Structure 1
Amino acid sequence: MRNTNCVVDVDYAQFYKKKQRIGGDVFLSSRDPEKTRIGCTLSDGLGSGIKANVLANITANMAQKLSFSPLQVIKSSEIIMDTLPVCKERKISYATFSIVQMQLDSTEEIKTRIIEYDNPNSFLFDGNTPVDFKPQKIALKRKRGGKSELVRYNELVLRDGHRLVLMTDGVTQSGIGTKAYPLGWREKPLREFIRESIAKNSQISSKELAKLIIMRARANDGGEPGDDITCAVITVRKPRDLVLASGPPFHKEHDKNLVDQVMQFTGKKIVSGGTTAQIFSRELNKRIFVDLKNRDREVPPCSRIEGIDLVTEGMLTLNRAAIELENRNPVENITSSSVRSFVELILQSDRILFLVGTKINEAHQDPNIPVEIGIRRSTIHRIRQILETTYMKETEVRYL
């Protein structure tokens, strides 16, 4: 894993407009193969439902591809605006966008460019202190004629403790027409809500902060959003590390080496697999306590070993976790408590080290075990791929 002083935690939360089964807001984030650049796009399609979703998806996907091209972000914005149709009646573009491009050349400073078109202003915080920044307003002329469109452009340097908050107008217009917020959730009270949320929990993740903001926005609307509500948060912070040990080493004499690597690791620790747990119990001279309170028909319960953050069963848990991660199922919706704890710890971490034993477990040769269980190595590979591409985590694997 790379020796970096800071990592970028990117996540979002979203509610659909009441009575809608699909949202018109789209948030996408990705990283280049060299892991030197991150691109994020938040787009709000005009209206709601399927049509808005298609327009926002086109905009966001186009912006993401252009973010990793040699083109400057302003030129990319021109291309997007020339591509998007314009509403004949309202004379406005069929989708808004906020594009964030981050350069990860330095281990401590992240050069960031932001360009926003018709979305609410983004907020920047240093810790829980709001940071004012004045965007440069640039007029972009459509090639097909029509009025010039104003975009807001900023160049920033993000450091440890900085948070950038993006949102659609479903947040800022929440509560509009009510006694508390006759003109919507305006900038001053919204900024103060974010400041208080960070002050209460300085370690709050991007996902948790985004969720707090949209939950409050939905409450402003009386629990029935009048528009799609989406908030994305980009946090720069110290990396959180995790080690996951799964499977016994090929040679039994390497058992102690496996345990030593895990116990000397600075960060969270997961042991996955019954045989692996027995190795740790033996080498550490610690008892294994099985949690019988939380039972699941499909996945065995967690266990506890002193000094280990989480002990789970092996292949069933790993395969189920891979499915939940692949589907981006919210942690709170995962029914199995052991899988939920596993996924939660993984997603709270930025850099994950997998220590994978290569000894064949005879139990997995049983023909009665479903074929999809596969072998440990392929399952770990699948989880790594999901974590790196979908969640932008850094991973490393070592085979023992």
Structure 2
Amino acid sequence: MTYFIDIAFDNIHKYGEELCGDKVEVIRMADGVIIVLADGLGSGVKANILATLTAKIAGTMLKEGASIEETVDTVLQTLPVCKVRKLAYSTFTIIKVYNDGRVYTVEYDNPPYIFVQNGSLMEIEKRTTNMGGRMIKESNFMLESGDVLTAISDGVVHAGVGAILNLGWQWHHVAEHIEKISHVEKCAKNISKNLIETCMGLYANKPGDDSTAVTVKLRTPEVIDLFTGPPKDLEDDHWIVHKLHNGRGKKIVCGGTAANIVARELGEEVQVNMEWIDKEIPPTARIKGMDLVTEGVLTLSKAVEKIRKYVNTAHSVDTIYKIDGKDGASQLSRMLIEDCTHLNLWVGTAVNPAHQNPDFPVDLRIKIKVVEELAAMMEKLGKEVKTTFL
């Protein structure tokens, strides 16, 4: 069976620095994905350059078919050991995940990866190989649906040193935390984000080191079809509702006109939901056979704003990115982030007369731009997005 490889990463940089000394490179290919987590020596600009160089070299060489021996040798020769501290200029973890669940990993001086299978921590046997005088650890194993694999930089295990914890968070505590949250978090982004937010708290909001978490979760594909209309050609109304109704995943309708089209074609009614009122976001509605029905551009805009901040902010105190609310934008954001691996956007391009009123906010006249930004945010989350204009 072919799975969806859900990948997410989050990081925080050392307090007082503008750049993170860790770098993550994710390269998707036809047969799977290559992930490189590199940790540059020290912090700031120098560490960022070292980590970026390491991640780019390793990712590019493996993508082009170089062997792991050639790749590791090139990285190690390019970034030699520091003569003063006797430490590697950059440490790294390389993970190759195939579409069928096979995994191959290479670790060099980074904290060991954390593997949770069936909700329990698993210990994987590793082979130690001498490559150019450096001890490299390799492993091969299988991921199954629901399994979680997390790679971290040493800033995660050091979280809390000199602040809340004397000896830092430590690897086994991090592993136990991931084991616990893997039971409740559905998507990779929620896990990596939770981990880094916890680090930020342990550092008392002043990180003593760059901290990065990369999470891989193997998932059964989940499709969402989102229709926002109306189509330019009236004859497409029946066609799009048929596609929507017979889709194999969850079904979302955004916009009053689109909702009326769906209800008419299905012979159902649109029932406005007044159980939850929000002063900024219009109420949702119900149509039998649809999983979520919301207002159009305003709700989509708010959802995009929430997803954007959710994606870009690892430790924001701004509640706009919170997605656990009952309003339409929160419900839409939550479904797209947690319950979606493949998103089909069906976008009507007919001119809606209501949107031409100059007294309405500008957002109502830029539906296409909002949809395009939504697609970009979803792709940044690693989702597969297909947009069809009607």
Fold shared by both chains (TM-score > 0.5): yes
Report the counterpart of residue 258 of structure 2 in structure 1.
276
Distance 1:99 1:387, change over 3 A: same
Preserved contact between residue 176 and residue 184 of structure 1 (Cα < 8 Å): yes
User: SS of 1:252's equivalent?
Assistant: coil
Q: How does 1:159-170 map to 2 (within 5 A)?
A: 159-170=144-155
Deviation at 1:197, TM superposition (A): 2.4
Task: Indicate whether 1:303 and 2:287 are aligned.
Answer: no
The question of whether the paired residues in 1 share the 8 Å contact of 2:158 and 2:167 is answered with yes
8 Å CA contact 2:287, 2:293 repeated in 1:
no
Offset at residue 244 of structure 1 (A) = 0.3
In the alignment, structure 1 residue 393 sits paired with structure 2 residue 356? no
Secondary structure, aligned partner of 2:346: strand
Q: Is the 8 A contact 1:291 1:303 kept in 2?
A: no
Q: Which runs of 5+ in 2 are unaligned?
A: 322-326
**1:346 alignment partner in structure 2:** 336
Give the Cα separation in 2 of the matches to 1:50 and 1:383. 32
Q: Is the 8 A contact 1:302 1:310 kept in 2?
A: no
Residues 346-400 of structure 1 show CA distances to partners (whole Å, capped at 9, x for unaligned) of 2221011222334343456678985995573x76456445534x33322334455
Give yes or no for the alignment of 1:288 onto 2:276.
no
Q: How does 1:1-400 map to 2 (within 5 A)?
A: 5-32=2-29, 35-104=30-99, 109-141=100-132, 148-176=133-161, 182-199=166-183, 201=184, 203-282=185-264, 283-289=267-273, 293-296=277-280, 301-307=282-288, 308-315=290-297, 318=300, 328-330=311-313, 333=318, 335=320, 339-348=329-338, 349-362=340-353, 376=368, 380=371, 383-384=374-375, 387-388=378-379, 390-400=380-390
**TM-score, scaled relative to structure 1:** 0.80
Shift of 1:71: 0.6
User: How many pairs are equivalent?
Assistant: 377
Which AA in structure 1 matches 2:66?
L
Instruction: In structure 2, give the amino acid aligned to 1:20.
Output: E
Distance 1:170 1:344, change over 3 A: same
- Name the CA distance, whole Å, in 1 between partners of 2:275 and 2:45: 45
**C-alpha distance in structure 2 between counterparts of 1:359 and 1:338, whole Å:** 23
The 10-residue stretch of structure 1 (338-347 or 324-333) with the greater mean CA deviation from structure 2: 324-333
CA drift at 1:170 = 1.0
CA distance in 1, matches of 2:313, 2:332: 13
Q: Distance in 1 between matches of 2:303 and 2:179?
A: 34
For the residue of structure 2 that corresponds to 1:284, the secondary structure is coil
Query: Deviations for 1:33-82, whole angstroms, at most 9, x for unmatched residues?
Result: xx432121112121222222222222222322223111123321221222
Counterparts of 1:93 and 1:208, CA distance in 2: 31
- Is 1:291–1:301's contact at 8 Å kept on the other side of the alignment? no
The alignment-based identity, stated in percent, is 27
